[in-house]
A and B are shown apart, each in its own frame.
Chain A
Amino acid sequence: MTPQRSAYTRRTVLKSTAAATAVTHLTSAPAIADDGGTSEITLSVNGQRHRVAVEPRVTLLDALRERLGLTGTKKGCDRGECGACTVLVDGERIKSCLTLAVMRQGAEITTVEGLARGEELHPVQEAFIRRDAFQCGACTPGQIMSAVACINEGHTGSEAEIREWMSGNLCRCAAYQNIVAAVADAAKETPR
């Protein structure tokens, strides 16, 4: 028995979509070399500009983790289902495994490493510790980034609303009720 394979693998499709998107979106098109299409791009992460060489198929998540050494952002599923990779792009929460690094040039990216001001934690980080809103911590960077955005979006009017708008971030340790409490706390402290 031979496994049936379509001529296009998921990756191939992803690659061609990426290339198309990259071309249409970029103001300053990167120089794409002939050898596998690696290009030098600039990513602005946590207020710092980074030059990085990536192929168009490299996700923002893998660029952060494997190229920039920003491993605070976690990979739980690599397909948009768990939320562990949530980062802010121009203030909005997105799943960094579902976007390509080349598509995010010129955007301001914030990861969990960029929330604290020196020694002073962000109110959401403080609230997560105070409310014990995590156990293993694998989902936590994603939960925290999602919580920051959830508060900014104004989706913290009630416990039920927080539960709904934080449901894109799985916590297998199930610290959910403490996450809800932490988000509610931080929402009170955050001027909007």
Chain B
Amino acid sequence: MTGLVGRGVARVDGRAKVTGAARYAADNEVTGVLHGHLVLSTVARGEITEIDTSAALAQPGVVAVYTHRDMPRLTLPSFPFLKGFLPLQDARIHHNGQPVAYVVAETLEQAQEAANHVRVRYRAERPTAHLADALGEAFLPRPFRDRPNEFTRGDAAAALKAAEVRIEQDYTSPTMHHNPIEPHTSTAVWNGNSLTLYESAQGIIFTRGVVAKAFEGFGVRLEDVRIISPYLGGGFGAKGPTWPHTLINAAAARAIGRPVKVVLTRAQMFTMNGHRAEYRRSLRIGATRQGVLTAIVDTSTGQLTRTEESIFNTSDSTLNLYACPNVHVRQMGIRLDLPSSSYMRSPETTAHFGLETAMDELAHELGIDPVELRIRNLPATGNTGNHLQECYRMAAKAFGWARRDPRPRSMRDGNEYVGWGVATETHTYSVFPSSAGLTVGVDGRATLRAATQEIGTGTYTVITQVVADGLGMPIEHVTTLLGDTTYPPASLSAASATMASVIGPASHAAQSARDAVIALAVADPRSPLHGVPAQDVVAERGYLFPRGDRGRRDTYHGVMSRHGRPVEVTGSKQNTGGRSHGAVFVEVRFDPRLAALRVSRVVAAYDPGRVLNHRTAHGQVIGGVTWGIGFALMEHTVVDRNTARVVNPNLSTYLVPVCADTPSVESFFVDRPAEDSTALGARGFGETPGTGVPAAISNAIFHATGRRLRDVPFTQDKLL
């Protein structure tokens, strides 16, 4: 250990990213590649009655046009293929913006142009597009990935009835879209029955499984499929599942016998790759006059489809965050004629927004400080509490919370009302089985390989740090290679799992390789370390020496060049998922003359276990907080009630925060290793920041204006 872990070292992939040298999935030059363009349905429900591709086929450069009539037949994969049906396999239409034809041409422009010439006739049925139009049809979906959609603890109904104080309110959030800057893309290259995909995938191992399954009817086996994804231009959950365009494109490439590339358009990304579902939530909270929670009844209703019933936005925090003895959670769903929803960054935000707003309502009702109210309800023992109290202390102090006058509309600055709000941040992270291969070459340098991905969170950097630290080698002597299924299988870049899953195996590999090289040195008569007991040898900055005797030293380079062959090891280590927490304080300013609201200040503190790189961890905080601002103030996908069509499928009407919308965020970390984590004490963390931000903003708006908003986004019309 050389103190590299934890340091905010600059990103090792920084140079590649600032020079344009980093090759994202759509950046690969593939000889002879054709370009594909999808034609999407213009109705949401019904059937294709007629489809005429002759005009499209007659366009210059067009190589093929596939429809449900002539598309190769694929096998329907299950999770993480989410839709429950494969488009272009039959005439049925399940949602607006579903693929109905796939045009392949020599150039991108030719494919796009020809797509305009595909004529489709439908027998259309009237769709249902909004939860409000089908509330009577809510039902309790089947367990999703072994998690039931109903939990009970104690007797919540009775406790609620008996409660001294009750808060009973409804909270809603609309459909939202991930909108990574890099669109989804896939380039399929077949060689016989072997398939290579240059893919924007958050989980190449997952994607390989889905693709192999879809093509099993052609005799394609898992080992025939190779997925390459060394850099991802963002994903936020959108690229975790495998979506139809990947399979359609690969099937076309196979049938044509040439490589084909597809890049979804921004508009297509509003129906082709999942979204955060629309939610309604009814929350009933009971408490004592001292603010001790006695009952929570949380009933949510989320959008499902007619072919799929997975709930991605679970109510974990209702169940786990506070020590309430009586809880009843139900995660209901309603089938609508819309695309399948999916995971989207910090999925619990939809639920947590309601809970943390209700907590503020309770604090106001009881005249208890909202920070104090939360601290009174933290569990005394167990994983949940960790250092959350300390987070509250750190952030409150830096924010200046003690100076807050709790009365609404009490704080003013010129023409603006100032509001301060607070919420707990919390996220349940996963881990996925992972391994890592490490080679120390004859040049004394190390290369780590793992089939996980760099999605922007700093995976290359943190792994390189950990490996250099474990080997006792300068960081410049370590190269990390990711994003190729020929490397040892490793974690999905989702559910904040990457670090929690991969760091254990990477550091295990580094220690094994270091021990192997030391063993070579002490056994080598040409080494100054010959005969030294192996356990007495330490490695630092590429040097190997007996503890306390730096003069008698060898180097990785020396040992390995004499050895003449690389040392190769594989690291693995199990970890378990868990939760990480924090506290976020927000200041808003509200100008009543214009009903203009802005977030002017954010201070947050977190307990992510041990911080492996302060710089990248801070990056996750500013990202997450900004997502929370987008969730609270602007993001919403508008779906037309009659056609179930997305009305705003672009970045000029689906608004995401821009530079001028965001304040600078100040972050703090408790930074103490989590004893239950084998990832050098680090917990999964990336999606914790932001989970509490919408509630903190709602609470700050109440403080500034005296108005309680329970329906996001809090657009200007709601503040008039």
The interface of chain A, by Cβ under 8 A from chain B, is: 1-3, 5, 9, 11, 35-36, 55, 57-58, 62, 65-66, 69-79, 81-82, 84, 111-113, 115-116, 121, 125, 128-130, 132, 134-141, 144, 160, 162-164, 166-180
Contact = CB atoms under 8 A, between A and B. Distances in A.
A175 B627 CA distance: 11
10 contacts: A2-B119, A70-B20, A71-B24, A71-B29, A115-B19, A135-B619, A163-B659, A174-B662, A176-B626, A177-B665
B132 interface: no
A79 B19 contact: no
Given A81-B266, A81-B650, 12 more contacts: A69-B29, A71-B24, A76-B181, A112-B20, A121-B15, A129-B11, A132-B618, A135-B458, A163-B660, A170-B181, A171-B181, A174-B625
Given A112-B19, A136-B456, A174 B113 contact: no
Interface string B651-664: 11000111111111
Given A1-B122, A178-B619, A129 B18 contact: yes
Given A3-B42, A137-B17, A175-B619, A71 B234 contact: no
A140 B43 contact: no
Contacts of A178: 619, 622
Interface of B: 10-11, 13-24, 26-27, 29, 42-43, 46, 60-61, 107-109, 112-113, 116, 119-124, 179-183, 231-236, 263, 265-266, 454-458, 615-616, 618-619, 622-623, 625-627, 650-652, 656-665
Contact of B626 (A35, A111, A167, A174): A174
A16 B18 CA distance: 36
Nearest to B624: A174
A70 to B, nearest CB: 8
Q: Which of B11, B13, B21, B658 has the most CB of A within 10 A?
A: B658
Closest 8 pairs (CB-CB, A-B): A72-B20, A138-B233, A136-B456, A135-B456, A174-B626, A137-B17, A71-B27, A81-B651
B181 A139 contact: yes
Contact of A173 (B124, B265, B456, B650): B456
Given A55-B109, A172-B179, A173-B623, A132 B657 contact: no
A75 B124 contact: no
A73 B26 CA distance: 11
B26 A36 contact: no
Given A3-B120, A76-B266, A166-B659, A175 B18 contact: no
B684 to A, nearest CB: 17
B60 A36 contact: yes
Nearest to A180: B659
A68 B663 CA distance: 39
A75 B184 CA distance: 11
- Interface of chain B, helix or strand or loop or mixed? loop
A174 B627 contact: yes
A57 B473 CA distance: 53
A175 B622 contact: yes
B234 A79 contact: no
A132 B656 contact: no
Most B-side CB within 10 Å, residue of A2, A71, A138: A138
Contact of B455 (A55, A74, A82, A136): A136
Given A3-B42, A132-B10, A172 B656 contact: yes
Nearest to B35: A66
Residue from A82, A144, A174 whose CB has the most chain B CB atoms within 10 Å: A174
A138 B180 contact: yes
Contacts of A162: 659
Contacts of B113: 11, 57
B493 to A, nearest CB: 10
B14 A167 contact: no
Contacts of B627: 174
B622 A174 contact: yes
Grouping DSSP codes into helix (H, G, I), strand (E, B) and loop, the A interface class, with mixed when no group exceeds half, is loop
A82 B22 CA distance: 20
Contact of B182 (A9, A74, A115): A74
A1 B43 contact: yes
Contacts of B60: 35-36
B108 A73 contact: no
Contacts of B23: 71
B465 to A, nearest CB: 14
B43 A170 contact: no
Contact of B651 (A71, A77, A137, A176): A77
Contacts of B231: 136-137
A65 B120 CA distance: 32
B663 to A, nearest CB: 8
Contacts of A170: 181, 651, 656, 658
Contacts of B42: 3
B594 to A, nearest CB: 18
A173 to B, nearest CB: 5
A48 to B, nearest CB: 15
Given A57-B109, A174-B623, A1 B660 contact: no
Contact of B263 (A3, A75, A79, A174): A75
B58 to A, nearest CB: 13
B10 A129 contact: yes
Nearest to B265: A78
Contacts of A11: 112-113, 116
A115 B615 CA distance: 25
A176 B21 contact: no
A177 B458 CA distance: 17
A51 B410 CA distance: 67
Nearest to B626: A174
A66 B108 contact: yes
B626 A128 contact: no
Nearest to B455: A136
Contact of B660 (A62, A65, A137, A164): A164
Contacts of A137: 13, 16-18, 22, 24, 231, 233, 456
Contacts of B112: 11
B660 A73 contact: no
Contacts of A130: 10
A5 B55 CA distance: 14
B115 to A, nearest CB: 9
Contact of A81 (B116, B120, B121, B652): B652
A128 to B, nearest CB: 5
B200 to A, nearest CB: 10
Contact of B233 (A5, A70, A74, A167): A74
Contacts of B61: 36
Given A1-B124, A137-B456, A175-B619, A132 B11 contact: yes
A168 B652 CA distance: 11
A136 B232 contact: yes
Contacts of A175: 619, 622-623
Nearest to A5: B116
Contacts of B180: 136, 138, 172
A82 B27 CA distance: 18
B503 to A, nearest CB: 18
B350 to A, nearest CB: 19
A113 B23 CA distance: 13
A144 B20 CA distance: 10
Contact of B109 (A9, A58, A65): A58
Contact of A134 (B18, B122, B455, B657): B18
Nearest to A2: B121
A65 B266 CA distance: 17
A142 to B, nearest CB: 9
Contacts of B119: 2
B659 A179 contact: yes
B298 to A, nearest CB: 29
Nearest to A125: B18
Contacts of B24: 71, 74, 137-138
Contacts of B458: 135
Nearest to A161: B660
B564 to A, nearest CB: 32
Given A135-B457, A135-B458, A176-B626, A82 B109 contact: no
Contact of B15 (A5, A78, A129, A132): A129
